[in-house]
C-alpha cells in the first residue's frame, strides 16, 4: 500500500469568475493602426539604385516595381504618415516626375 489516504491533501485550484477570464489584462493596449502614404515614381534603367536609395533615405519603402503603360519602369513606394522632415519627399517626388517627363 502506498500510504494513508487520509493524509493526502487535495490540490488547491483557484477559479476566477468568467468575466475576469474573458477580459484582456489591463497592461495590454490595442495597437495603434498605422496609416500610410503612397508614392509612384518612374525609374530610369541606368539610375535605378540611386533613385531607390534616394527615396529610401527619405523614409520610403519599395513595395513593387512594374512596367508602366508606356513601357518604362514605375516604382510603388510607401511610408508611415508623419509630419516634419519625414514628408520632405513629396516635393522631391514632384521634381523627379518633372525631370523624368523632360528626359523623354
Compute mean pLDDT per 10 residues along the chain, 104 residues long, and list them. Answer: 61 66 66 85 91 93 94 94 57 66 58
pLDDT of residue 92: 67
C-alpha radius of gyration, the chain, whole number: 29
pLDDT of residue 12: 73
CB atoms within 10 A of CB 102: 7
List the chain domain ranges: 34-103
pLDDT of residue 58: 92
Task: Give dist(CA 36, CA 33) in Å, integer.
Answer: 10
pLDDT of residue 33: 76
pLDDT of residue 84: 43
- Phi first, then psi, for residue 54 (nearest 5°) are -60, -45
Amino acid at each position: 500500500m502506498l500510504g494513508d489516504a487520509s493524509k493526502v491533501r487535495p490540490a488547491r485550484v483557484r477559479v476566477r469568475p468568467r468575466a475576469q477570464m474573458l477580459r484582456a489584462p489591463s497592461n495590454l493596449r490595442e495597437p495603434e493602426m498605422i496609416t500610410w502614404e503612397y508614392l509612384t515614381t518612374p525609374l530610369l534603367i541606368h539610375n535605378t539604385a540611386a533613385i531607390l536609395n534616394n527615396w529610401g533615405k527619405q523614409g520610403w519603402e519599395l513595395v513593387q516595381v512594374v512596367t508602366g503603360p508606356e513601357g518604362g519602369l514605375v516604382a510603388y513606394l510607401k511610408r508611415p504618415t508623419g509630419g516634419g522632415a519625414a514628408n520632405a519627399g513629396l516635393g522631391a517626388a514632384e521634381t523627379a516626375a518633372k525631370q523624368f517627363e523632360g528626359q523623354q
